[in-house]
Amino acid sequence: MGKRAEALELAVLGLLHDAPMHGYELRKRVNALLGWGRAFSYGTLYPCLKELVRRSHLAEDPSPETDAAHLGSRRGKIVYKLTPEGKEHFAELLSEAGPSSWDDEQFGVHFAFFGRADVATRMRILEGRRSRLQERLELFRSALQRTRERLDAYTLELQRHGLESVEREVRWLDELINAERGAVERTSEEDVRSARRPAEARWGSGSRPESPAH
């Protein structure tokens, strides 16, 4: 399965995790999530849906309009919903934090469902994406340094634009990583305070831990 197909599968499972949808609505939501100027056609979406149904990750339910379609009044629609197997598969895909999850094709869709991922997974993906972009920055800078004298003004401007775009994303990732670390630290501090409260309450009522006997 190609990277774009993997991203589409994760997007479909994640969107249907919220609520069942028919194909038309699902296509709109997928394009809003993954489109980035390149719309997904029904010819791309429906084979993905059929494959997920075949693997029992999705189930097809006829909508009320389907009954009407049998009477010839209008076209019927199939509503797709996530099965328990599909929820389990979605959780497995979401927990994957290897190199493919921080590629251009997949990082965005993983990030869109970060709210359902654990902190460790989020951190691995964010740090992996930042590392990937830092490598790209070095390549950009090296290429620009080598070819600056041979480029016309427009090509040089395009190179600078690419460099600035990657630099902005790296700064954005730094902010996200710092925010995640800060949240982890605050949670750890709160856990420590919560553990101390029962003991402090007992000590405050006059009970103190006894000194060891000599």
Span 41-66, pLDDT tens digits: 778 889 999 999 999 999 998 765 54
**CATH class of the 3-112 domain in this structure:** mainly alpha
Q: pLDDT tens-digit profile of 119-167?
A: 999 999 999 999 999 998 998 888 888 887 788 888 888 888 889 999 9
Question: At 187, which amino acid appears?
Answer: T
- Its pTM stands at 0.76
Q: For 132-169, b where at least 16 C-beta lie within 10 A, e where not — what string?
A: bbeebbeebeeeeeeeeeeeeeeeeeebeeebeebeeb
Provide the residue ranges of all domains of the chain, joining segments of one domain with +: 3-112, 119-194
Bridge partners of 22, per DSSP, are 79
